[in-house]
Amino acid sequence: MTDDNRISRRASLKGIAATGTFIGGSVLGVSSVSAGDDSSGVKRVDFTKCHSMAVHFRRSATKSAKKGVVATATVRLYNANPSANENYIENYQKKITKGDLRTHPKKKGEGKHVWKFNVFQFYDRTPEDGDKILSVKIDGKQFENPNKCAKSVSNARTKKSKKGKINPRRINLISVCTDAKTDMARYKVTNSNAKPVKVTYEGKDDGKDVSGTVKVEAKSTTYFDVRAPDGKMAIVLYHDGKQVSDKVQSATDQDCILRPRAFNAECVNRYRTKAKYYLHSNIDSDRTFVYRVDETGEKGTITLEHNPANAKFFWVKAPKGKATVTLYYEGVPVGTASSADVDVCDPVVNRTQGESYDSIQDAIDDADENDRIRVFGKRFEENVTVDVDGLTLTGDSKKKKKADKKWKRDNKTKWKDDKSRKDGKKARKKDDKKQDGKGKTKAGKTAKKPVIDGGVSIEADGVTLRGFRIENDDGRGIDLDPGISDVKILCNKITASEQAIADSLPGGISDLKIANNVLHTSGSGSQVVYIHGEASGGTDAENVNLVSNVIKADDLDGGLAVGLEVDGGTVAKNTFADPPTDFGHLELWGPDVTVKSNKFRGHNLGEDAFYVVDQDNTYHLNAIRKHNRFDPRAKVDDNEIIPK
């Protein structure tokens, strides 16, 4: 408040329009006062320390409300910072309507018909400023705050006197503030007499009479609200039937309800368990907002400090990254923001150096040899070049570790069960269901991976790439530089218009591991995986291992699923998920590759297409046929394994 008898309010902002229920702040230090079997309609009143309260109404009170008015309340307040013309003890007279009660979905532990009041917002301050709620009277029923709030203000209590006359000149009507969005104007009556007074006011609302009665303690002040379309109103005050004030226009230049200038969700944390929000408003002193999270019922307060920024960031719990946060000021929702579609905060982290980045490529460009970079869930629209030796690039999600353990457990059980006809049949049925398009594949269990919307080029030795969705509709998913070695491509889901994984030229790649991926191409006449070697005019790649992958394609036409020009390695536990092709599934150039425990599904193989072809005639194809599964069943024909 100021010496000119007006509460200090910020200039009007064209903020977010909303009306509704006021939700209180902290839940710590709550003391309840029961109404017992009283017929006032109040079930109980919860006081949070000295600054907040929640009035719980019985359902019957809201049903029997006349003209929407549930009850009339008088809140007795201690004003910790009065102006020179005012007193410490004040009252706020409020008609509680159905619209003032809680409107958000009820959570466990919350009442259904509740009106909440925070004294610090009423005075445009913070909980630390010392304003207090001493008691509340509702339809004649008194509820004292049990938290000993009145003890520290005993010296400020007003003295009542039954002697003497009331001087009308010592009764003043003052406009305080308005809120055009809720059609409300606030006034106050100050009484400098030594006796309490009872006054009436009159005004016009769209041609209709507006009137009411206000009680004011001796040497005190009572605030009251009146309906005012667009905040515009003019009222006159009467005492004992005599006019004691001129017509007072509502204070349309002062806002009762502080609305934020900006309120939005910024991002979610890396594991999508919390969300970060930004709040900004024009203020002339420290102010406190109340917030509530719809999904969890979490409640709290956010105080903006008066400084050049007038802004603050804050975090709330966000299950699965989703939190809808509503801000409240004086019982009115003044802003709502959701984290459902925001990105991850600091999504790329060099864990070796402790630095954070917004771009994967920026993190790689700043990395040193053998650094470890972790990337958290979002979509990165960039082409990535990995040119740092020993770099580990990991896509992370909260469910990844648990999903990977389940994948390994299921996968291990499946191949063990193949030794038993009975258990093996169960495993095959389980695989068929998961790999025929009706369910997720096991390699796809690591859901919610960060997405690289573009291609990845690996140009360094010792690189590990794990846990991404790579989507490139204009080229390869992963391009391998000729001659690289000791590269691991693990647990990714790769979709490309050309090869999912391939090297561009024969160059003697060595020690390459491609495991636990879903590999898919949408290109016609292409390959899903191809590693060049001697057959293409260079030297064979060495020790190439293709293990536990799912290999898919839209329609390869005359293309090949997997081609390996390699000397040594393993092709094991892969699923060729019936990629349509007129050519074949697996083409081998070079010796000493172990081919076992793969599942070849070939219902979409062309008439002359093969499951496996041995271009160098170095393998025992009957042994390969025996140690792999084929559907339809297979036979050996010259240097090929083909459907029967």
Q: What local confidence, expressed as pLDDT, does residue 430 receive?
A: 47
**Cβ-based burial of 256 (10 A; exposed 0-12, middle 13-18, buried ≥19):** buried
Longest dimension (CA), the chain: 123
Higher pLDDT, residue 426 or 45: 45
Q: What local confidence, expressed as pLDDT, does residue 363 receive?
A: 98
Q: What spatial distance separates the first Cα and last Cα of the chain, rounded to whole Å?
A: 93
Higher pLDDT, residue 99 or 598: 598
- Residue 1, helix vs strand vs coil: coil
- Say how far apart CA 257 and CA 22 lie, in whole Å: 12
Residue 306 has pLDDT above 70, yes or no: yes
Q: What local confidence, expressed as pLDDT, does residue 151 receive?
A: 64
Torsion over CA: 311, 317, 323, 325 (sign): negative
Nearest residue to 203 (alpha-carbon basis) of 185, 220, 219: 185
- Residue 579, helix vs strand vs coil: coil
- Would you give the distance in Å from CA 278 to the centre of its chain? 13
Q: What local confidence, expressed as pLDDT, does residue 378 receive?
A: 81
Look up tokens 């520290």; give the residue.
Answer: 152
Q: What local confidence, expressed as pLDDT, does residue 636 receive?
A: 97
Cβ atoms 72, 52 nearer than 8 A: no
Residue 103 pLDDT class (50, 70, 90 cuts): low
- Please provide the average confidence, as pLDDT, over all residues in the chain: 85
- Say how far apart CA 483 and CA 542 lie, in whole Å: 10
Q: In this structure, are strands 348-350 and 355-357 parallel, antiparallel, or unpaired?
A: antiparallel
| Mean pLDDT, rounded, for 306-321 | 93
**CA separation, residue 358 to residues 31, 343, 364, 374 (Å):** 47, 10, 11, 12
Of 349-353, 371-375, 408-412, 619-623, minimum mean pLDDT range = 408-412
The DSSP bridge partners found for residue 235 are 203, 248
Look up tokens 């105080």; give the residue.
Answer: 303
For 196-200, which contacts have Cβ atoms below 8 Å and span 24 or more sequence positions? 196/160, 196/220, 197/166, 197/171, 197/239, 198/239, 199/171, 199/237, 199/238, 199/239, 199/244, 200/237, 200/238, 200/239
Torsion over CA: 125, 130, 131, 136 (sign): positive
Residue 204 has pLDDT above 90, yes or no: no
Q: In this structure, are strands 132-138 and 451-453 parallel, antiparallel, or unpaired?
A: unpaired
| Mean pLDDT, rounded, for 163-184 | 92
Backbone φ, ψ for residue 275 (5° rounding): -130, 145
Of 325-334, 382-391, 452-461, 510-519, minimum mean pLDDT range = 325-334
- Under DSSP, the state recorded for 5 is S
| Mean pLDDT, rounded, for 10-17 | 29
Helix-then-strand count for the chain, H and E:
6, 51
Cβ atoms 549, 443 nearer than 8 A: yes
Q: What angle do CA 623, 628, 631 make, to 5 degrees?
A: 125
Cβ atoms 323, 265 nearer than 8 A: yes
Q: In this structure, are strands 197-205 and 234-239 parallel, antiparallel, or unpaired?
A: antiparallel
- Would you give the distance in Å from CA 206 to the centre of its chain? 44
Cross-sheet strand order for the sheet of 274-280 = 262-268, 274-280, 311-317
Cβ atoms 510, 478 nearer than 8 A: no
- Say how far apart CA 520 and CA 526 lie, in whole Å: 11
**CA separation, residue 480 to residues 457, 540, 597 (Å):** 6, 15, 26
Residue 17 has pLDDT above 60, yes or no: no
| Mean pLDDT, rounded, for 367-392 | 96
| Mean pLDDT, rounded, for 111-135 | 93
Backbone φ, ψ for residue 499 (5° rounding): -65, 145
Q: What local confidence, expressed as pLDDT, does residue 539 receive?
A: 84
Residue 28 pLDDT class (50, 70, 90 cuts): very low
- Residue 135, helix vs strand vs coil: strand
The string of pLDDT tens digits covering residues 139-158 is 989 999 999 887 656 444 44
Residue 161 pLDDT class (50, 70, 90 cuts): low
Of 71-85, 376-390, 535-549, minimum mean pLDDT range = 71-85
Higher pLDDT, residue 336 or 151: 336
Q: Would you say how long the chain is, in residues?
A: 644
Higher pLDDT, residue 22 or 628: 628
| Mean pLDDT, rounded, for 198-209 | 86
What pTM value is reported for the model? 0.71
Residue 436 pLDDT class (50, 70, 90 cuts): very low
Q: What angle do CA 55, 57, 60 make, to 5 degrees?
A: 170
| Mean pLDDT, rounded, for 366-382 | 94
Cβ atoms 589, 619 nearer than 8 A: no
Cβ atoms 173, 187 nearer than 8 A: yes
Residue 360 has pLDDT above 90, yes or no: yes
- Say how far apart CA 279 and CA 67 lie, in whole Å: 37
Q: What angle do CA 374, 314, 290 make, to 5 degrees?
A: 150
Backbone φ, ψ for residue 119 (5° rounding): -70, -30
Q: How is domain 348-643 classified at the CATH fold level?
A: Pectate Lyase C-like (2.160.20)
Domain boundaries, the chain: 348-643
Q: In this structure, are strands 560-572 and 593-596 parallel, antiparallel, or unpaired?
A: parallel
Residue 38 tokens, joined: 């009283």
Q: Roughly what angle, to the nearest 10 degrees, separates helices 421-435 and 400-417? A: 140
Nearest residue to 116 (alpha-carbon basis) of 198, 199, 51: 51
| Mean pLDDT, rounded, for 114-124 | 95
- Would you give the distance in Å from CA 231 to the centre of its chain? 36
3-class SS letters over 167-200: CHHHEEEEEEEEEHHHCEEEEEEEECCCCCEEEE
Cβ atoms 231, 252 nearer than 8 A: yes
Residue 86 pLDDT class (50, 70, 90 cuts): low
